[in-house]
Amino acid sequence: MCGRFVQLPVVNFGQPGMADLAPGLAEIQSSFNLAPTQRASVILDRGEGRQVTRMAWGLLPFWAKAKGLQGSTINARIETVATKPAFRAAFKKRRCVVPMAGYYEWSVSTEDGKKDPWFIHASGPLLAAGLWEDTSPLLPDGNLGTFTIITGDSSGVSADIHDRMPVWLQAGQIDDWLAAGPDDAMAMLLASEPPAMEAYRVSRAVNSPKNNREDLLQVVA
């Protein structure tokens, strides 16, 4: 799964066709330990062109009766994203991209049995496939909606830490992902090739979502 991630302003993304998104990406609020229900920046298209906007993490479909559902909808498994009631409507027509500077996963320490967080990242920004829903009456007035991150089997360094990871997209796939029909969107997910990534252990301070500061990204020997 993906239960915490990092977002930082994206400057000079260096990919063609991103000029319209550049201002929004550059204004992403720095967050070094984003946790479920917190707001993060996502790329979507409401029918008026691509935009970067902030939404709460944990998808709330229109029929949701309790805000607590968010705890179980922060991730959508690729195996069931097209059929599970919480996600299937959004998968058909409300897809988004979640830019990340990296994300955290945990392993159990052989020394004391406690959980050690690892920061997994690439040389540049990561783009995770996601889904979004519009405003929900369960959230405070003025909310801009909710989102989830699609996950699949891990590979590379991530596989050594956890068996799931976000499904990654390339910058050139953003338009197709946002606009494709369900069958083509699923084909994109299944054909995803993750970028080369690295992982290193970080402070257990990451374990508490109350901690959100830059030094959380420092290497722990």
CB of 5 closer than 8 Å to CB of 39: no
C-alpha–C-alpha distance, residues 114 and 125, integer Å? 30
- Residue tagged active-site, from 2, 96, 193, 214: 2
C-alpha–C-alpha distance, residues 216 and 167, integer Å? 24
C-alpha–C-alpha distance, residues 187 and 184, integer Å? 5
C-alpha–C-alpha distance, residues 126 and 169, integer Å? 8
Q: Are strands 146-153 and 75-77 parallel, antiparallel or unpaired?
A: parallel
Does the active-site annotation cover 2? yes
Ramachandran category for residue 124: left, alpha or beta (phi over 0 → left; psi -120 to 50 → alpha): beta
Type of residue at 130? G
CB of 69 closer than 8 Å to CB of 36: no
Does the active-site annotation cover 214? no
Phi, psi of 98 (to 5 degrees): -110, 105
- Residue tagged active-site, from 105, 111, 133, 193: 105
Residue positions annotated with a catalytic role: 2, 105
